[in-house]
């Protein structure tokens, strides 16, 4: 039986692995800038594993953006995929492309207990939706549903573009500054890597403080070192993430739990766990009781998107080369 290959492709890096016996093997990270396209990157990966072209039967790639059809252009790098040319060049039988956050959501079905940290205690209800939300380059939001046949249904959406909620007078003042700077204020404008910088600038403008940091990494480091303004950025970020996640739980009835993913929050995980996230998550007035008992986890797994691509490949119908059980 031929091997399967999975990939999780972002703007800067492409992660590849073999998928065998429902497990990842030989994970490798390649820079997208070093290759003309995914075919060349995968050929290099196969060569590093001493595998000839034709050794791989199926490929599943998690790609940022809506997928479908025979041509896909990546929005955050120079790569493109033509299905027929891709399969011919790499001598594979089928190519499955899935939305990157759909793959991330499916990855939650395979994480181990040691790959997640409890943020809010509770008991997940297996027959109810689970919310997957993650701050990275943007803010991804997806819904995960268990199916009677043992497979999983992913409902991706554009939840990162909802309006940023206001839950306190301080947040109202910050929102006014953000509105002057941005116009329409989306959750993603604050709840993302670059959002840390946007939020920092808004706080400095509101309080008349000088700007001392120019990157999200510098703000995170300063906040962890105890600098008050940068510390407020991390705290307010955590509270706003709690408000957005709580809103999503109410909308979806997501009593199956909440998974916090993405690359931003793990950088200040201890500060996040001690933040006002939980209070803001449950701060829903007369519906606050609904949020009690819903578990929230911070996911620390290294390659959940790759694992999710393997799950997508595993449960896609064999007769359909570009099918995945997700609704767009």
Q: Which long-range contacts (CB under 8 A, 24 or more apart) does 150-153 make?
A: 151/315, 151/325, 152/106, 152/109, 152/311, 152/315, 152/325, 153/325, 153/326, 153/327
Q: Is 134 annotated as a binding residue?
A: no
Q: Is 215 annotated as a binding residue?
A: no
Centre a 10 Å sphere on the Cβ of residue 282 and count the other Cβ atoms it contains. Answer: 18
Rg (the chain; Cα; Å) = 21
Q: Which long-range contacts (CB under 8 A, 24 or more apart) does 35-38 make?
A: 35/79, 37/79, 37/80, 37/81, 38/7, 38/9, 38/14, 38/79, 38/81, 38/86
Q: In what order do the strands lie in the sheet with 94-99?
A: 23-31, 13-20, 3-9, 56-63, 94-99
Q: Are 324 and 153 in contact (CB under 8 A)?
A: no
Q: Is 10 annotated as a binding residue?
A: yes
Nearest to 265 by CA among 291, 237, 243: 237
Q: Is 223 annotated as a binding residue?
A: no
150 conformational bin, left if phi > 0, alpha if psi -120 to 50, beta if neither: left
The size of the chain, in residues, is 328
CA distance 179 to 171: 12
CA distance 101 to 105: 6
Q: Is 8 annotated as a binding residue?
A: yes
DSSP classification of residue 73: E
Q: Is 7 annotated as a binding residue?
A: yes
Tokens matching residue 68? 């479908």
- Positions at the binding site for ATP: 7-12
- Positions at the binding site: 7-12
């Amino acid at each position: 039986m031929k091997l399967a290959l999975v990939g999780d492709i972002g703007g800067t890096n492409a992660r590849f692995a073999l998928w065998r016996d429902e497990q990842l093997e030989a994970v490798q990270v390649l820079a997208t800038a070093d290759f003309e396209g995914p075919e060349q990157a995968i050929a290099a990966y196969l060569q590093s594993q001493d595998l000839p072209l034709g050794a791989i039967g199926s490929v599943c790639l998690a790609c940022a953006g809506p997928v479908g059809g025979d041509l896909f252009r990546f929005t955050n790098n120079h790569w493109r995929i033509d299905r027929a040319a891709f399969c011919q060049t790499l001598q594979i039988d089928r190519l499955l492309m899935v939305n990157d956050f759909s793959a991330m959501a499916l990855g939650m079905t395979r994480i181990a207990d040691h790959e997640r940290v409890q943020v809010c205690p509770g008991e997940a209800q297996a027959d109810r939706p689970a919310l997957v939300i993650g701050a990275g380059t943007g803010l991804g939001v997806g819904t995960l549903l268990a199916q009677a046949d043992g497979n999983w249904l992913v409902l991706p959406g554009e939840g990162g573009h909802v309006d940023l909620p206001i839950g306190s007078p301080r947040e109202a003042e910050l929102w006014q500054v953000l509105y002057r700077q941005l116009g329409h204020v989306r959750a993603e404008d604050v709840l993302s890597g670059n959002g840390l910088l946007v939020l920092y600038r808004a706080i400095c403008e509101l309080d008349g403080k000088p700007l001392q940091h120019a990157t999200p990494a510098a703000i995170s480091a300063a906040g962890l070192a105890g600098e008050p303004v940068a510390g407020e950025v991390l705290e307010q970020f955590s509270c706003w993430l709690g408000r957005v996640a709580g809103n999503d739980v109410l909308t979806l009835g997501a009593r199956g739990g909440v998974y916090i993913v993405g690359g931003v929050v793990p950088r200040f995980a201890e500060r996040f766990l001690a933040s006002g996230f939980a209070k803001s998550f449950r701060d829903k007035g007369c519906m606050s009781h609904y949020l009690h008992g819903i578990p929230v986890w911070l996911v620390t797994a290294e390659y959940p998107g790759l694992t999710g691509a393997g799950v997508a490949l595993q449960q896609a119908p064999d007769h359909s080369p570009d099918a995945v059980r997700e609704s767009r």
